[in-house]
Amino acid sequence: MIHVANAPCSWGVLEFDLEGKAAGYAQVLDEMQATGYAGTELGDWGFMPTAPQRLKEELAARNLALMGAFVPVALADPAAHERGVAVAVRTAELLAAVAGPSPFIVLADDNGQVPARTQNAGRVGPELGLSEAQWAVFAGGAERVAGAVREATGLRTVFHHHCAGYVETPAEVDRFLSLTDPELVGLCFDTGHYRFGGGDPVAGLERHAGRVWHVHFKDCQPEVAARSRAEGWDYFESVQQSIFCELGQGDVDFPAVVRLLAGAGYDGWIVVEQDVLPGMGTPKESAQRNRDYLRGIGL
């Protein structure tokens, strides 16, 4: 059975250091429950309580499951790996204490930190990619994080491809997966990032079904994507302009994605992510419309 969650990023709680104020965790969790979601990811460390019993009580009061936490690490920089391991293990220990062995560490590049990748999100070419030596460092860092998390807590790690990071395009997703152990590192397949990164989410999901352990549902608005490429917007301007629109308002074929997941026997979580900047939009209303849309296609 597929379960449907949302994530704090849909309320403007993002991992980036940005201006503006996002909603507090109590409001976010209340509104997730009110709009019909069954679970949440953790959000940035410190957004929700980090004392396990307190966090468990807050989630239980709203009948919400905790199924993952996003952990960005600058994997192309070997000097960042040790701290990345420490952050991931600390986060995994909290997840395990609150929800047992089922949640995922959602590992990603430290997106938005490399100017050329951030400026060219949605249109990066091979000249902005990693060298062979850098790929080895990047993949090795991901495996090191995943191995440490598994050893310390038993939790599994999925890698989240993401625009404005070093694994954005379909070719980069392919390369990363070819360099990492499929028993150790799964894929968090994000429909919106895959689309903005130049791919067809249906084809990408078909191609990587065997590595997909976790799924983010995000839509991508094609007219905004075209303007972003034509006008040279950076990643954050694209988000400000609603590149990641409400589900069903972009060009991701979610009914086909749902059919593929069902046909593959996927029984994990679908996490809705409609990334907005802090203070942007009407998150509760969007969350409700997104949940209603998913009910309309059988979720």
- The amino acid present at 256, given as its one-letter code, is A
Distance separating alpha carbons of residues 190 and 201, to the nearest angstrom:
8
Q: How many independent structural domains does the chain possess? A: 1
Mean pLDDT of 201-209: 97
pLDDT digits (tens, 9 = 90+) for 20-78: 566 799 999 999 999 999 999 999 999 999 999 999 999 999 999 999 999 999 999 99
End-to-end Cα separation, the chain, in angstroms: 9
Look up tokens 């995000």; give the residue: 218
Q: Is the pTM of this model over 0.95?
A: yes
**Residue 14 binned pLDDT confidence (cut-offs 50, 70, 90):** confident
Distance separating alpha carbons of residues 18 and 14, to the nearest angstrom:
8
Mean pLDDT of 226-248: 96
With a pLDDT cut of 90, the percent of the chain lying above it is 93
Q: What does the mean pLDDT of the chain come to?
A: 96
Using DSSP, how many helices (H) and how many strands (E) does the chain show? 12, 8
Distance separating alpha carbons of residues 36 and 155, to the nearest angstrom:
27
Distance separating alpha carbons of residues 154 and 130, to the nearest angstrom:
31
Mean pLDDT of 210-231: 98
Contact 217, 246 (CB under 8 A): no
Cα angle 263-267-273, degrees, rounded to a multiple of 5: 100
Contact 205, 257 (CB under 8 A): yes
Distance separating alpha carbons of residues 152 and 110, to the nearest angstrom:
23
Is 19 a residue whose pLDDT tops 80? no
Distance separating alpha carbons of residues 111 and 116, to the nearest angstrom:
11
Distance separating alpha carbons of residues 5 and 30, to the nearest angstrom:
13
β partners of residue 65:
39
What is the pLDDT at residue 15? 61
Domain interval for residue 24: 3-296
Distance separating alpha carbons of residues 275 and 218, to the nearest angstrom:
8
**Backbone phi, psi, residue 75, to 5°:** -65, -20
pLDDT digits (tens, 9 = 90+) for 111-169: 999 999 999 999 999 999 999 999 999 999 999 999 999 999 999 999 999 999 999 99
Residue 188 burial (CB count, 10 A) = 25
What is the pLDDT at residue 21? 65
Mean pLDDT of 239-268: 96
What is the pLDDT at residue 16? 59
Is 18 a residue whose pLDDT tops 90? no
For strands 185-190 and 39-41, give the pairing. Answer: unpaired
**Residue 281 binned pLDDT confidence (cut-offs 50, 70, 90):** confident
Q: In this structure, what CATH number is given to the domain that contains residue 52? A: 3.20.20.150
H/E stretch holding 273: none
- The amino acid present at 78, given as its one-letter code, is P
Distance separating alpha carbons of residues 109 and 176, to the nearest angstrom:
12
Q: Which residues of 53-69 are buried (b: 16+ CB within 10 A; e: fewer)?
A: eebeebbeeeebbbbbb
The alpha-carbon radius of gyration of the chain (Å, integer) is 18
SS (H, E, C) 212-251: EEEEEECCCCHHHHHHHHHHCCCHHHHHHCCCCCCCCCCC
